[in-house]
Amino acid sequence: MNQSTQLRPLMFVGTGSDVGKSIIVSAFARIFLQDGYHPAPFKAQNMALNSYATPEGFEIGRAQAVQAEAAGVPCHTDMNPLLLKPTTDMQTQVVLHGKPIGNQSAYEYFRKEGREALRAEVYGAFDRLALRYNPIVMEGAGSVSEINLREVDLVNMPMAIHAGADVILVADIDRGGVFASVYGSVLLMTEEERRHLKGILINKFRGDIRLFESGVKMIEELCGVPVVGVVPYYHDIMIEEEDSVALQTKNLKANAGKVNIAVVLLRHLSNFTDFNRLERDPRVHLFFTNNTDEIEKADIILIPGSKSTIDDLYELRKNGVAQAIVQAHRQGKTVMGICGGYQMMGQEVCDPEHQEGDVERLPGLGLLPIRTVMTGDKVTQQVTFRMKHSDVPCKGYEIHQGRTSVVDGAQAEAVNVMADGAEEGCMVDRTCLGTYIHGILDNSAVVDFLLEPFAEKMETRKAFDYEAFKEEQYEKLAAHVRQHVDMELVYKIMTQHD
């Protein structure tokens, strides 16, 4: 294929949620990059607590930031113009072009009124992106067959039709019912939608693929659409996950020969990818837990970010986890808070404007001499910094509401010095510290600072190159998908005349 060839957008929609669309988009973004193209990801609307700051200081879904990284391009709000961040089971914060525009209930959000204005915004974002990149690798959301929401859908087939995209339907064979889910999804499409459907991809296959050859033929005969590939389940490729649903499975016992790090499992935990680098570090055994015994046995306790700081703080106080964290620190364990976790470590969190709910004030854990006041404005920015006692440059990003200040007369110092000389975070000593910077633990200098007091515990003291590791994973993912997908057919689909 000539690399100057203009490829039509390629869109991956799903028979349901969690069929692996995000990872497949990452794989194809890297494949197109390897083949000499200039790809970029796009998802009109994403619902996730895990977000990321663009270089311009705006907020998008973390999954699209990962896909952009796989594509080898900087992330931008046009790649995810509409982000929904649930605040409760019934309410969500709506982020448009990287900035919050208010909170809405699900019923309010899916009303027809005002829908066309949002549609124009996401279509405009795609149109701008399509002028700069080739091809656009698009992702749908949830099931492609939510026919009750068809009129207000911004992210699946209406988006594909606007983009003139070739659509591939992704099905998860591991969950069972693959024939019914694929055939049913195709059957529920309108005639116009079916004209855009060009292929089917069977994902997460376990076992001998040869045993499914007859199944491939059956699906093709039923649907009148080619199966472009059957991608096996994998265990040895580590790509950032979009959702935190699997965190409880990382709830493991202490491990001898490593530094045991417990991440407190919050109900509204956000930006759990802050801990991905640590999880891969050979010196570390990391697990997520809200079990008080496991927390007290850890060497380091990390309190993560939260989309609802006061609600999660209240829950920690109610279920005994707050007391376990304080007790562990008294016994010499290190406690570090990030963003919402940093706010929780202070003397109090105040919400006079009811940004998060009806509770106006809640005592914190009392580990840091700070006070936080929730505010309506939101800080969103990428940052460069160094730890106060280090000259090593570091990078991360901030996404938070609230302003934190040190209590008058308190004995404490900053954790970090920003590029402009401003001080950030609060530290009583090296066993008690907090920061607003997400991604801070992706920096070797910070990790080495945390692990240094536990050097005698570590069987290995070899540092970990996270950037090289991530690149290796994208390459492995692309190779895995390329091996099991007919890329010649995919390119033919993206260039042939209808």
| Active centre residues (catalytic) | 339, 438
Angle between helices 321-330 and 309-318 (to 10 degrees): 80
> How far, in Å, CA of 278 to CA of 293, rounded?
22
Helix (H) or strand (E) holding 230: strand 227-232
Amino acid at 22: S
Give the residue from 326, 257, 265, 253 showing the smallest Cα distance to 290.
265
CA atoms within 13 A on the CB side of 326: 15
- Max alpha carbon distance in the chain (Å)? 76
CA distances for 421 relative to 383, 449, 476, angstroms: 12, 21, 40
All residues at 6 or more sequence positions from 131 whose CB lies less than 8 Å from its CB, including other chains: none
For residue 123, count other CB atoms closer than 10 A to its CB.
17
Give the residue from 302, 10, 23, 28 showing the smallest Cα distance to 169.
10
DSSP string, 397-456: EEEEEEEEEEPTT---B-SEEETTS-EESEEEETTEEEES-BTGGGSHHHHHHHHGGGGG
- Measured in whole angstroms, the distance separating CA 240 from the mean position of its chain's CA atoms is 7
CA distances for 122 relative to 10, 17, 153, angstroms: 17, 21, 11
- What stretches of 444-494 adopt beta strand conformation (E)? none
204 in Cβ contact with 172 (< 8 Å):
yes
Handedness of CA 417, 423, 429, 430 (dihedral sign): negative
For residue 366, count other CB atoms closer than 10 A to its CB.
12
